[in-house]
């Protein structure tokens, strides 16, 4: 086919809301994703029967499996079998599980007590609270009149107001709210207000949740403690324990997965920014002379890791921090960013890889008085290692997997396995086709690996054989048994939760001891002897 023909075909396909299978998928909206997550038991609003609690989410049965699978994949590829180093050498990374509540001195030394702040601005009228650094403002270029604030990426309300005031956005420049001189804040019309002048000046707000240890203290006694805002500090304060007990040699890593808590000013975008979340962090301790080599290595390795889970490279990008974004102790930092549905066409952070120098070990060494230098017996050298930190969100990673997996397709009616067409989310199926929603998780991450169906629920022999097979498969994989409804409907239910394989037991199975295995993505069906079923699944689930 000539190029122009192909283009014509693509255009006509587009007209009908279709995409080529190789096209980049249009990401689902947050409403679509939250709806699916609730309907199919992935993620629920926390405390829902009490009207929820802003910034907190509960993982349902399938969400828990998915999150555990992502956590296990990270642990496997980071701790048990890390990537080979830049010179093809094997790396040494060990695991840790530290307490959520630490001695408050930890947070003093790490700088979190003094500096883990976000600027916030309140609206006196609507009572809404904003991260001041997430607010942007349309500022009149004339220097006179009302300025219109909006949340980053959501300029529509402000633009509507500008049109209503018979003006044009061309007469404005867009500036961050935090850059405004204080006397100009009174001219700003907040996103949820009915008039200008209701936003407060930005104030610093510490993000750490406080709690109290033991019975209520006597007067003057301070028993305040904090829920950890990151897992990393638990690693630094155990660095010496690990060096003393594990015979690790520089360079080496310590990794940890666990809950972190941040009293975010504006939790939003589903599980992207919540107040309780999970992180997967690794601190890579190395000789100061080698730190920049390891920094480059880990930035690339982490990007590749997300791609290895099936995340489309076109949805991932590396963003190097500008110098003015870096913490004072850091010489470099890069984010792995992802194009979420709610950031498209822009990107949002998924993971940060920071070159932290020896800041953390220096701080803890000084504050605790305990020497944290590493002694190299071969060279008789003492060094305070430098640290490269790949820090990613486990719960944010789940959001990426859901975004990536969500697919709408048009399939020829009757589930005949003909050509399927990639659909724009929300578009209607053309004549002769029906829509299916499918979560295309890689089998490694899918919450349920295999579903088992008897063709008919009222034929005892079929049900018994199906249950026997189910009982055998669930010893090895998360499996699901379903005998309700037509087979096509049962396939669709599994498609929507991302189960890669469905096994059907029919009348031929009773005769020749074979079953049909149906592949989620191609919808192809294979006839497999029961004696080979486990090895077939093993091969395809682990490929």
Binding stretches for ligand ATP (CB under 6 A): 230, 262, 264, 273-274, 277, 279, 349-352, 391-393, 395-396
Q: Nearest-CB residue to ligand ATP?
A: 393
Nearer CB in complex with ligand ATP: 208/243: 208
Min dist CB 180 to ligand ATP, Å, is 21
DSSP state of 270: T
- The residues facing 456 across adjacent strands are none
Closest to ligand ATP by CB, 233 or 509: 233
Cβ neighbours around 461 below 10 Å, total: 13
Q: Which is nearer to ligand ATP, 55 or 104 (CB)?
A: 55
Minimum CB separation of residue 261 from ligand ATP in Å reads 9
Coil, strand, or helix at residue 518?
strand
Q: Which residues of 204-223 are buried (b: 16+ CB within 10 A; e: fewer)?
A: ebbbbeeeeeeeeeeeeeee
Query: CA separation (Å) from 97 to 125, 233, 281, 282?
Result: 45, 11, 11, 12
What values do phi and psi take at 8, rounded to 5?
-55, -45
Nearer to ligand ATP, 335 or 482 (CB): 335
The whole-angstrom separation of Cα 298 and Cα 75 is 16
User: Nearer to ligand ATP by C-beta: 315 or 392?
Assistant: 392
The nearest distance, CB 52 to ligand ATP, in angstroms, is 16
Pairing of β 332-338 and β 381-383: unpaired
Q: How many CB atoms lie within 10 A of CB 194?
A: 9
Q: What is the CA radius of gyration of the chain?
A: 27
Shortest Å distance, C-beta 439 to ligand ATP: 21
| Helix, strand or coil, per DSSP, at residue 537 | helix
For residue 77, the 8-state DSSP code is I
CB of 397 to ligand ATP, least distance (A): 7
Six token digits for residue 166 = 């018979």
Give least dist CB 121 to ligand ATP, A.
Answer: 17
**279 vs 407, which CB is nearer to ligand ATP?**
279
Sequence-separated (6 or more) residues with CB below 8 Å from residue 46: 52, 53, 56, 57, 58
Cβ closest to ligand ATP, residue 334 vs residue 405: 334
Nearer to ligand ATP, 187 or 260 (CB): 260
Q: At closest approach, how far in Å is the CB of 517 from ligand ATP?
A: 37
Angle CA 58–60–63, to nearest 5 = 100
Q: Give the CA distances from residue 248 to residues 7, 30, 370, in Å, rounded to whole numbers and listed in that order.
A: 58, 44, 19
Nearer to ligand ATP, 27 or 454 (CB): 27
Min separation Cβ 335 and ligand ATP, Å:
7
> Cβ(398)–Cβ(70) under 8 Å?
yes
Q: How much of the chain is helix, strand and coil, in % rounded to 5? A: 35, 30, 35
> Which pair of tokens denotes residue 507?
């009348």
Closer Cβ to ligand ATP, 92 or 349, answer by number: 349
User: CB atoms < 10 A from the CB of 61, how many?
Assistant: 14
Neighbours of 142 (CB within 10 A): 8
Q: Which is nearer to ligand ATP, 230 or 495 (CB)?
A: 230
Distance CA 275, CA 6 (A): 48
Provide, rounded to whole angstroms, the least separation between the CB of residue 232 and ligand ATP: 8
Q: What minimum distance in Å lies between the beta carbon of 391 and ligand ATP?
A: 4
What's the closest the beta carbon of residue 268 comes to ligand ATP, in angstroms? 10
Q: Which residues contact 147 (CB under 8 A, 6 or more apart)?
A: 137, 138, 139, 140, 172, 180, 184, 187, 188, 189, 196
365 in Cβ contact with 384 (< 8 Å): yes
């Amino acid at each position: 086919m000539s190029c122009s023909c192909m283009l014509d075909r693509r255009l006509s396909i587009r007209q009908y809301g279709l995409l080529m299978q190789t096209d980049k998928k249009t990401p689902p909206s947050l409403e679509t994703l939250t709806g699916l997550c609730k309907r199919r038991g992935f993620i629920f609003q926390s405390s829902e029967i009490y009207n929820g609690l802003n910034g907190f989410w509960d993982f349902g049965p399938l969400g828990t499996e998915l999150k555990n699978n992502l956590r296990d994949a990270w642990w496997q590829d980071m701790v048990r079998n890390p990537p080979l180093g830049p010179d093809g050498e094997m790396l040494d990374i060990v695991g840790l599980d530290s307490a959520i509540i630490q001695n408050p001195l930890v947070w003093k030394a790490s700088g979190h007590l003094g500096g883990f702040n976000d600027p916030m601005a309140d609206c006196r009228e609507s009572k809404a609270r904003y991260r001041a650094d997430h607010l942007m403002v349309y500022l009149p270029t004339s220097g006179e009149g009302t300025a219109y604030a909006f949340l980053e990426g959501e300029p529509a309300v402000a633009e509507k107001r500008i049109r209503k005031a018979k003006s044009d956005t061309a007469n404005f420049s867009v500036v961050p709210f935090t850059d405004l001189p204080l006397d100009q804040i009174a001219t700003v019309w907040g996103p949820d207000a009915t008039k200008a002048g209701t936003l407060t000046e930005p104030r610093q707000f510490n993000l750490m949740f406080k709690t109290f240890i033991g019975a209520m203290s006597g007067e003057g006694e301070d028993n305040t403690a904090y829920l950890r805002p990151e897992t990393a500090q638990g690693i630094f304060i155990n660095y010496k324990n690990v060096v003393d007990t594990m015979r690790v040699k520089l360079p080496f890593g310590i990794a940890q997965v666990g809950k972190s808590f941040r009293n975010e000013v504006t939790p939003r975008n589903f599980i992207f920014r919540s107040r309780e979340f999970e992180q997967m962090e690794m601190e890579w301790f190395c000789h100061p002379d080698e730190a920049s080599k390891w920094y480059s290595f880990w930035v690339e390795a982490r990007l590749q890791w997300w791609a290895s889970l099936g995340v489309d490279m076109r949805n991932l990008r590396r963003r190097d921090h500008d110098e003015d974004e870096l913490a004072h102790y850091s010489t470099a930092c890069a984010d792995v960013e992802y194009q979420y549905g709610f950031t498209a066409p822009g990107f949002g952070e998924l993971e940060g890889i920071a070159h932290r120098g020896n800041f953390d070990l220096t701080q803890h060494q000084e504050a605790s008085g305990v020497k944290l230098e590493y002694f190299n017996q071969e060279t008789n050298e003492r060094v305070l290692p430098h640290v490269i930190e790949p820090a990613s969100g486990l719960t944010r990673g789940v959001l990426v997997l859901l975004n990536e997996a969500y697919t709408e397709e048009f399939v020829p009616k009757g589930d005949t396995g003909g050509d399927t067409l990639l659909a724009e989310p929300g578009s209607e199926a053309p004549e002769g086709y029906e829509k299916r929603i499918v979560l295309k998780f890689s089998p490694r991450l899918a919450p349920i690996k295999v579903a088992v169906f008897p063709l008919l629920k009222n034929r005892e022999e079929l049900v018994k054989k199906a249950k026997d097979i189910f009982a055998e498969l669930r010893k090895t994989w998360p499996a699901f048994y379903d005998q309700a409804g037509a087979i096509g409907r049962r396939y669709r239910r599994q498609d929507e939760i991302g189960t890669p394989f469905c096994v059907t037991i029919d009348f031929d199975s009773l005769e020749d001891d074979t079953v049909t295995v149906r592949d989620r993505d191609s919808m192809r069906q294979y006839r497999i002897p029961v004696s080979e079923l486990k090895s077939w699944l093993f091969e395809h689930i682990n490929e």
